[in-house]
Amino acid sequence: QKEVEQNSGPLSVPEGAIASLNCTYSDRGSQSFFWYRQYSGKSPELIMSIYSNGDKEDGRFTAQLNKASQYVSLLIRDSQPSDSATYLCAVRGDNYGQNFVFGPGTRLSVLP
Task: Specify the stretch interacting with other proteins by CB under 8 A; choose among 12-20, 54-62, 68-76, 103-111.
Answer: 103-111
**Beta-carbon-side half-sphere exposure of residue 36 (alpha carbons within 13 Å):** 17
Of the candidates 18, 42, 59, 111, which one interacts with other proteins according to CB under 8 A? 42
How far is Cα 12 from Cα 9, in angstroms, rounded to an integer?
8
Query: Exposed e or buried b for every residue in 27-56, given b needs 16+ CB within 10 A?
Result: beebeebbbbbeeeeeebeebbebeeeeee
Task: Specify the stretch interacting with other proteins by CB under 8 A; choose among 11-19, 52-60, 68-76, 98-106.
Answer: 98-106
How far is Cα 74 from Cα 1, in angstroms, rounded to an integer?
24
Binding characters for other proteins, 50-89, by CB under 8 A (x = yes) = --------------------------------------x-
Residues in touch with other proteins (CB under 8 A)? 32, 34, 36, 42-46, 49, 88, 90, 92, 97-100, 102-105
